[in-house]
Amino acid sequence: MTSGCFVARVAFGVDARVEKPNDVTGPVSSSEPGQSESAAVSSGGPVAAPVSEADEPAEAAAGGAVSPPDQCDEELVLRPLRSGDIYASFQFRTQWDTDFLHHGKKVSHYRLFPKSLGQVLSKFSVRELHISFTQGYWRTMQWGQPFIPSPPGAELWVWFHNTVEDVDGNWKELVNVLSGIFCASLNFIDSTNTVQPSASFKPLGLGNVTDHRFLRYATLPREIVCTENLTPWKKLLPCGSKAGLAVLLKSEKLFHSSFHSQAVHIRPVCKDWQCTSTAWELRQTLNVVFDIYTSGQGKKEWSLFKMFSRTLTEACPLASSSKVYVDVTDNPEGELFDLSPVTPLLSTAVVLGDRRTYSVYDLTKKETFGQLRSLNLVLRWKGESGDMLRPLLHAERYVAGFGLQTGEIHTLIYNNHPYRAFPVLLLDSVPWYLRLYIHTLTVTSKTRENKPSYIHYQPSKDRLRPHLLEMLVQLPPHSVTEVTVQFERALLKWTEYTPDPNHGFYVGSSVISALVPSVVAMDTNSTQERPLFSSFFPTKEESSYFVRVYTEPLLVNLPTPDFSMPYNVICLTCTVVAVGYGSFYNLLTRTFQVEEPSQSLAKRLANVIRRIRGVPLL
């Protein structure tokens, strides 16, 4: 197991970090390639942030030194898809040169960085935080790979500082606080759906942390994303939704799409190659895919106004850079679509192992908006687009079997590279009520057994923790690798069923991490300026790039009692009690009186006459 774990870590290049010099303030670690893109910030330059209470004496002694700056950047990337759909990706990055984890230092003044998140980092000693809310499933075979992947529902994984003593206690409090900040159901995250991976989800920021005791990962595949989650997310932006690219974030348009995902990523990063200065990076991303059918257009013609019901009029005044990128790689001569207005600015970037060309619209320049002082990009397709190239790595998963006692989980991993084999790290978190038979685990490639080089399995405990399975598998070139495992369904207590038990129970997506061979040489020099969408994952070597793939969540039926029978029993019992006990109670509490029968009319008239005459009454 030890050698396998070493192979897994080396294969993904996560431990090749160099420690910082001792005289550098901040966490001890090194620069992560792909992390120090913050050194190449746009033309505006850093803006001085207010001085915190802990820094005031030091700065006063230094003769009024400048406080650590904070700065923000925003980008929108539009990628026309071969299917006629369009992929829009928003990225907002805020950097602050401060240290929330420094003991004895209290950060009290905030300018661009949200105070609510800064207090969370400080209180719970969080080193990295990644949270996403996704509605819909990303169709890799139709849309290609996204810039930042995310599974359906809610996903949260956190690295805590190595000084935390009670990680589980901090995790429990943290999810409840985040549930309030984002108006989500994260409070349903508990020990039954939280795992502690041993090889997956390495830190994306600086830090040489390899002790996975300080890592927690959880998903809520049934979480529904709606406007109440988008509103607090927009409030974290420096300009809110009042200026810049955020004015396009109109909820009724964003949620009227086939895919929507919003995320928040917080991590410490290096600002230069030598990592002589560090900063906290807050990156907010929002990805949405519009298709011609749900939008009701019926034709392949897109514009900012049709997609978002708004146009761009200005950049965020607090942003150092504000740009819109349109992918024109497949349209070098304009034979596929027309893009207007035309911009002379072109930029190339290596994204997901491929060199792409983008038309760039700089919102910080007045000439971008033209005489109308408004930017409305229009894309008109000319003809039918060809088939998209198949991604080198994708996966799918399904449940097989019949009946409600046993079943089998199948995970298919596709390597579409014609001649290169590469390893992948598979992580599966299965709820405790699906009791896995780990001795039935099989891995086959091209009808042959494919023995994993590393396996980590943690069995579940009923109502306490889920199953955790991690494997490092070598994928042969141009092959399909199938991972199967059998399970038995457990019978829950009647109080553990959901209000709609016949709908089924969700099982979170499998996570596949890999270094995929690159078509072109990847850029490992993070000192060069790069767009935000191409600089999220660290790049260790030129020949490969990191990819994380999520499969579909599973919907499994469990043995469900007939909840209508208790209802019938309750109705019948209540009826018997109401009739029997009601009649008995009525007899015990009613008062009976004897009443004489009333006299006839003739007899009453006779008595009146006899009374007048003084004769005794009848």
Whether the CB-CB separation of 580 and 171 falls below 8 Å is answered with: no
Residue among 443, 413, 456, 432 nearest 507 (CA): 432
Q: Clarify whether residues 212 and 252 are in a common domain.
A: yes
Question: Is residue 197 situated within a structural domain?
Answer: yes
Residue 502 lies in a domain: yes
Out of 32-46, 193-207, 292-306, least confident range: 32-46
pLDDT of residue 387: 65
Mean pLDDT across 209-228: 90
Indicate if 568 and 547 belong to the same structural domain: no
Cβ atoms of 473 and 443 within 8 Å: the answer is: yes
pLDDT at residue 389, as a whole number: 74
The total of structural domains in the chain comes to: 3
Q: What is the rounded end-to-end Cα distance, in angstroms, of the chain?
A: 116
Give residue 100's pLDDT band: very low, low, confident or very high (50, 70, 90): low
Strands (E), 476-586: 479-489, 505-507, 511-517, 544-550, 554-556
Show the tokens assigned to 71.
């700065």
* Predicted local distance difference test score (pLDDT) of residue 295: 60
Report yes or no on 616 lying in a domain.
Answer: no
With a CB cutoff of 8 Å and minimum separation 6, the contacts of 109 are 49, 50, 51, 52, 53
Whether residue 573 sits in one domain with residue 493: no
Same domain? For 413 and 494 the reply is yes
Residues 576 and 466 in one domain: no
Tell me whether residue 443 is in a domain: yes
Distances (CA, A) of 300 to 303, 308, 336, 447, 467: 10, 16, 11, 43, 46
Q: For residue 219, what are the CA distances in angstroms to 46, 259, 399, 499?
A: 37, 18, 19, 20
Query: Long-range contact list for 341-345, CB < 8 A, 24+ apart?
Result: 341/370, 341/375, 341/377, 343/368
Residues 573 and 548 in one domain: no
Which whole number is the average pLDDT over 607-612? 86
Share of the chain above pLDDT 90, in %: 47
List, for residues 221-244, the tens digit of each pLDDT value. 999 998 999 999 999 999 988 889
512 and 581 housed in the same domain: no
What are the pLDDT digits (tens) for 422-435?
999 999 999 999 99
Q: Which amino acid is at 602?
A: A
**580 in any annotated domain:** yes
Residues 440 and 575 in one domain: no
The reply to whether 540 falls in a domain is yes
Residues 458 and 499 in one domain: yes
Phi, psi of 288 (to 5 degrees): -145, 145
577 and 443 in a single domain? The answer is no
Query: Are residues 260 and 123 part of one domain?
Result: yes
Tell me the C-alpha distance between 474 and 445, whole Å. Answer: 9
In a domain, 68, yes or no: no
CATH of the domain at 512: 2.60.40.740
Report the mean per-residue pLDDT for the chain. 82
Residue 432: its pLDDT value, please?
95
271 and 407, same domain (yes or no): no
Tell me the residue range of the domain where 492 lies: 393-556
Question: Is 9 inside any structural domain?
Answer: no
Instruction: Give the pLDDT confidence score for residue 128 in this predicted structure.
Output: 93
Across 150-169, average pLDDT? 93
Residue, of 49 and 373, whose pLDDT is higher: 373
Q: What distance in Å separates the CA atoms of residue 356 and residue 184, rounded to the nearest whole number?
A: 36
Largest interatomic CA distance in the chain? 134
